Amino acid sequence: MDLAATILVDGLIYAGWLFIVSVGLTLVFGVLNILNIAHGSLYAIGAYAAASMVGAYFAWGGDAFPYGSYVAMIVAALLVALVLGPLLERGLLRFFYGRDEVLNVLVTYAVFLILEDVMKLIWGVNPYFVYEPYTLLGDVEMGPLFYVGYDFAVIAAAIIVGLAVWLSLNRTRMGKVVLAVIHDSEMSQTMGVNVQRIYLGAFMAGAFLAALGGALTAPMISVTPGLGVNVIIVAFAVVIIGGLGSIPGAAIGALMVGISRAASVHMLPEAELFIIYFVMAIVLLFRPEGLFAKTQARKI
């Protein structure tokens, strides 16, 4: 019983931050129809930016109100989206809309490589640690198990993000416009919708979610070069399992990956990486388009 509870909680914690990253990736694909490999770099930049912002916050007297470091982390993710979102979308990606999907993948892969070197130029190759936010919420006792309270805050953040994205797309006027663009961008433009602005907004939202995922995980890990490589691979597995362009699919995919990985870590550590792709292969064997097809995602 204790093992099952441990696997469940560990899986939810891992799935929490992974969902935030994956929903940004699937949002960009759903609107722009671009599989953005550079999403992993945006995650890593968010982690570096949060580490730097929190460090500066405490250096400037943040000890008087340490909970302000959480605001600093969110601001760091927002700044990443505000700076890199327009730069990448307006400066590069807009020239490749409607082009071959393989070409788009290669372009975003090139951006990924460039951003990896940019991070080394800005932050160097030494690891960054930002432990203060991780310790502020204390510990949580669950029977014989003890967890850091911050881990559950990440789960809560993932739930809030998921609800916010879903409500924004389905219960707001702008969300209806975005869904219209997803269904038929040419008809939407004919009806007076500024499609280019929708593309920019969607990409910036996806960039913010990637950076937010990095910012939230920064206190839990050592922020080092190459951080985005593993993340983008696992995030791809999540969106492929759930179905490209599907937000509910991203949630289900993140849960499946998180819990299966936690089960492997506790029961068969040698298969930690293998189990993620095994789950993906099983899903694709029976549902080649993923659990939620993109056409279904456009109805959500």
CA 112 to chain centre: 15
Say which amino acid occupies 11.
G
167-201 confidence digits (pLDDT tens): 999 899 999 999 889 888 888 888 888 999 999 99
Mean pLDDT of 32-37: 91
Give the 3-state secondary structure of residue 223. Answer: strand
122-153 confidence digits (pLDDT tens): 999 999 998 899 999 998 887 777 889 999 99
Domains for the chain: give ranges and CATH numbers: 3-286 (1.10.3470)
Give the Cα separation of 206 and 42 in Å (integer): 9
CA-based radius of gyration for the chain? 19
Which whole-number Å values give the CA distances from 120 to 97, 113, 225, in the listed order? Answer: 30, 11, 7
Say which amino acid occupies 183.
H
What is the reported pLDDT for 293?
Answer: 63
Residue 224 contacts residue 165 (beta carbons within 8 Å): no
What is the reported pLDDT for 4?
Answer: 86
Name residues whose C-beta falls within 8 Å of residue 246's C-beta, 6 or more positions apart in sequence: 26, 30, 239, 290, 291, 292, 293, 294, 296, 297, 300
